Amino acid sequence: METPVLQAININKYFLDPVRFRVLKDISFSIGRGSFVSITGKSGCGKSTLLYILSTMDTDYEGELFLDNEALQEKDNAALALVRNQKIGFVFQFHYLIEEFNVLKNVMLPAMKLGKFSNEMIEQKAMQHLKTLGIYDQALKNASQLSGGQKQRVAIARALINDPLIIMGDEPTGNLDKKNSDIVFGIFKEICLENKQTTLVVTHDPDFAKRADRIIQMEDGKILL
């Protein structure tokens, strides 16, 4: 059997304030390479909490987490930052672009930070992603000059720039209208098919969730099998 890209084993998480509360309850699952998975469930069931753990941004949990065969729970913050930059692309509900930089620079930044390639090579790659995402002609505009849907596509290009193994999205279409949601979903689907990259998206939108290859349904901190 193919080794999973991401594997969670018995993840539990507690919030202590205002009272001790077990928000995630024995979460275990694995995700294979190139699959498009959605995590869905009612508001408050723990979707974002789980995604923040899976994306290494929250390290306060019990259990084991493997990304590309590496045990994440054993790594310190510096090592996790490297894993995030090299292996995970993240798309938030809000785009978090740097509004005063142009689109091209926004997309290039994570690769420039990694320092593995020349700026020329990074620029070429960034332009290629912008082309695929249909916003090539916006490259030299400041991020502040784009529409919401365009900004989200720039955020996806930025998430792809370091060729991550897995793209994670937290309600990536939450701020978009139906037309732009459809475009963004189509893009996620294509990323999986064409690049064999794995996509994991949290959404409370059942229509969006249904378009994934696999739905992880959550209820009250648990995964329903």
Ligand X SMILES: Nc1ncnc2c1ncn2[C@@H]1O[C@H](COP(=O)(O)OP(=O)(O)OP(=O)(O)O)[C@@H](O)[C@H]1O
Interface residues with ligand X (CB under 6 A) are: 15, 17, 23, 41, 43-49, 204
Quote the least distance from Cβ 193 to ligand X, whole Å: 27
Compare residues 47 and 87 and give the one whose CB is closer to ligand X.
47
Compare residues 45 and 103 and give the one whose CB is closer to ligand X.
45
Compare residues 43 and 69 and give the one whose CB is closer to ligand X.
43
Compare residues 6 and 27 and give the one whose CB is closer to ligand X.
27
Compare residues 17 and 74 and give the one whose CB is closer to ligand X.
17
Quote the least distance from Cβ 181 to ligand X, whole Å: 16
Quote the least distance from Cβ 60 to ligand X, whole Å: 10
The per-residue DSSP string of the chain comes to -PPPSEEEEEEEEEE-SSS-EEEEEEEEEEE-TT-EEEEE-STTSSHHHHHHHHTTS----EEEEEETTEEGGG--HHHHHHHHHHHEEEE-SS----TTSBHHHHHHHHHHHHT-S-HHHHHHHHHHHHHHTT-GGGTTSBGGGS-HHHHHHHHHHHHHTT--SEEEEESTTTTS-HHHHHHHHHHHHHHHHHH--EEEEE-S-HHHHHTSSEEEEEETTEEE-
